[in-house]
């Protein structure tokens, strides 16, 4: 199908569903035409329970039934212009179409997560700290697409090196004062780095001792503490320790979790704290721990300082990865009953993956890419599990499931240009197709501009007249090409062997096929 036909078909499909359509150089996005305002949000529920929100952050929706202000701010790469992204209506969902229009043809980062509580506890770029220099990277605004209540939205995609902070807060618990917090996270995006946190931290960006933090942690690091299974786990970062229960290190009652959308809760009061979690799409919460402070010196009483962090540790440790959609912090220790009502509100919100179709170049779709050269027209773009090199390999219905997964890609809006594309590995979430020294391989996003450019490709009509070709955004004369069964970005003539003019048009043309997995 020609590229303009693909766009026309998508336009007709979205219009038939009552949606508005934004088309930017072939990347297709859609948002539902109306927004239903919530009768109440999580912070209304907390307030009714006597533990009001003192910080409320979300890039996906209002957390109060009446909130109609900005959710977050983005900055455009081309000119540094800033734009606040608000909601479709008070109490409603993010106006993702405003971001799509503002960032079309370039990329954007999230510069501010606004506090909806009225306390002014906004999150901005984290500065340097005792563990790492700064300022930290800002999240690519298009890297975590999601659907919420049928509406397109974006989360905060934290690659290693990305972090947000506020050291000058208002109303956040200090010392041994009680507090609660929850976060809705992507339960499939994590790593073993320190530390993907959301919550209370030091105001100095330094490790000031045991008990000076109280934050939600999510990941599978085992250096300080861990639960049952292989992880990931919801734990509490209390500084100089990730705690999964009353004991240091192992606590068997803290299970590994695998929900695509995860509600994670940590709360603390004098000599009392708890970990709770559940599926953010359905069902209730489970209590993984509730009891006295850890069996270690310095945590009873606590010494909380009242800063807020997202994506980093209290001393700016920033080797972690994760995705954040929404979260709050409260004044006072919320009851389980209040938290159960908040969980019901979250589950009713309708979080779901952005993928709604397969076999097309629309962000969120799953595809396989087939070579068109006569020699290799049964071969598909695959990655090798052993070394992350990208090759072409024959795949058919009898192929092993692992090979089919290696040949399947999730289409994302381009990291360096949201009008182009980035391809995420299906079976290695968080790892993307990128070129390095002109050779294609999988790589984990480090949040930097070079990676974003190396991982962004602009679809064009096939150079051979068949299918599509994928132009490198930072080497616009070079296209995705297979050569001797390896894959490169290659020009039509040049000093490298893979720049050979022989079969260049066919080798750089690909058919977009239904995904193998």
Report, as residue numbers or ranges, the catalytic residues. Answer: 239, 315
Tokens 């192929």 belong to 399
Closest to 182 (Cα-Cα) out of 166, 199, 157, 196? 199
From the centroid of its chain, how far is CA 465? 36
How far is the C-alpha of 170 from the C-alpha of 70, rounded, in Å? Answer: 19
Residue 5 buriedness (CB in 10 A; 0-12 / 13-18 / 19+): exposed
Strand partners, 235: 217
DSSP state of 376: G
Among the listed residues 326, 344, 353, 324, the one whose alpha carbon sits nearest the alpha carbon of residue 87: 326
How many CB atoms are located within 10 Å of the residue 398 CB?
5
Q: Map tokens 């721990």 to a residue.
A: 289
User: What element of type H or E holds 101?
Assistant: helix 96-103
| Residue 215: burial class (beta carbons within 10 Å; 0-12, 13-18, 19+) | buried
Number of H helices, E strands in the chain: 7, 36
Q: What Cα–Cα distance (Å) separates residue 365 from each residue in 44, 56, 281, 418? A: 36, 31, 21, 15
CA distance linking residue 236 with residue 225, whole number of Å: 9
Phi, psi of 337 (to 5 degrees): -60, -45
State the DSSP code for 231. Answer: -
Taking the C-alpha atoms of residue 216 and residue 235, their distance in angstroms, rounded to an integer, is: 6
- What SS3 state is found at 449? helix
Rg (CA), the chain: 23
Of 177, 183, 402, nearest to 277 (Cα)? 183
Enter the tokens of residue 123: 């999150």
Q: Are 173 and 306 in contact (CB under 8 A)?
A: yes
- Asked whether 405 and 416 are in contact (CB, 8 A), the reply is no
Is the distance from CB of 391 to CB of 384 less than 8 angstroms?
yes
Interatomic CA distance for residues 189 and 180, integer angstroms: 24
- Exposure of 59 in the CB half-sphere (CA atoms within 13 A): 32
């Amino acid at each position: 199908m020609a590229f303009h036909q693909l766009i026309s078909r998508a336009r007709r499909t979205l219009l038939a569903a009552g949606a508005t359509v934004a088309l930017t150089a072939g990347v297709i996005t859609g948002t539902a035409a109306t927004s239903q305002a919530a009768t109440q949000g999580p912070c209304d529920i907390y307030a009714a329970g006597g533990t009001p929100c003192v910080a409320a952050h979300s890039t996906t929706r209002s957390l109060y039934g009446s909130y109609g202000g900005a959710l977050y701010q983005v900055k455009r790469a081309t000119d540094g212009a800033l734009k606040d992204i608000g909601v479709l209506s008070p109490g409603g969902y993010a106006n993702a179409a405003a971001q799509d229009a503002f960032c079309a043809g370039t990329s954007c980062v999230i510069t501010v997560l606004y506090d909806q509580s009225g306390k002014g506890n906004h999150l901005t770029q984290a500065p340097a700290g005792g563990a790492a220099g700064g300022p930290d990277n800002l999240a690519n605004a298009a890297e975590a697409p999601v659907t919420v209540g049928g509406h397109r939205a974006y989360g905060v995609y934290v690659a290693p090196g990305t972090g947000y902070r506020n050291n000058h807060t208002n109303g956040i618990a200090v010392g041994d004062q009680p507090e609660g917090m929850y976060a809705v996270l992507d339960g499939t995006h994590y790593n073993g780095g320190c530390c993907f946190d959301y919550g209370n931290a030091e105001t100095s960006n330094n490790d000031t001792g045991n008990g000076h933090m109280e934050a939600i942690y999510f990941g599978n690091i085992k250096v300080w503490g861990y639960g049952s299974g292989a992880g990931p786990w919801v734990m509490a970062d209390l500084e100089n320790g990730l705690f999964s229960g009353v004991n240091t290190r192992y606590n068997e009652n803290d299970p590994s979790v695998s929900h695509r959308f995860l509600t994670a809760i940590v709360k603390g009061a004098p000599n009392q704290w708890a970990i709770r979690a559940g599926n953010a799409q359905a069902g209730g919460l489970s209590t993984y721990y509730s009891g006295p402070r850890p069996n270690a010196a310095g945590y009873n009483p606590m010494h909380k300082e009242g800063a807020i962090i997202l994506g980093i540790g209290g001393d700016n440790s920033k080797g972690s990865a994760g995705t954040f959609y929404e979260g709050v912090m409260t004044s006072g220790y919320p009851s389980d009953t209040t938290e159960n009502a908040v969980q019901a509100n979250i589950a009713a919100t309708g979080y779901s993956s952005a993928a709604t179709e397969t076999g097309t170049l629309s962000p969120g779709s799953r595809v396989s890419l087939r070579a068109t050269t006569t020699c290799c027209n049964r071969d598909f773009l695959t990655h090798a599990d052993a070394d992350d090199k990208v090759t072409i390999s024959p795949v058919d219905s009898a192929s092993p499931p692992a090979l089919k997964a290696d040949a399947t890609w999730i289409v994302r809006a381009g990291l360096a240009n949201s009008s182009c594309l980035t391809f995420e590995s299906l079976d290695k979430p968080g790892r993307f197709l990128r070129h390095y020294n002109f050779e294609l391989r999988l790589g984990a996003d480090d949040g930097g501009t070079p990676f974003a450019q190396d991982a962004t490709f602009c679809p064009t009509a096939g150079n051979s007249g068949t299918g599509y070709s994928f132009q490198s955004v930072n080497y616009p004369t070079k296209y995705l090409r297979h050569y001797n069964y390896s894959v490169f970005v290659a020009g039509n003539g040049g000093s490298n062997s893979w720049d050979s003019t022989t079969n260049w048009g066919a080798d750089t043309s690909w058919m977009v096929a239904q995904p193998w997995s």
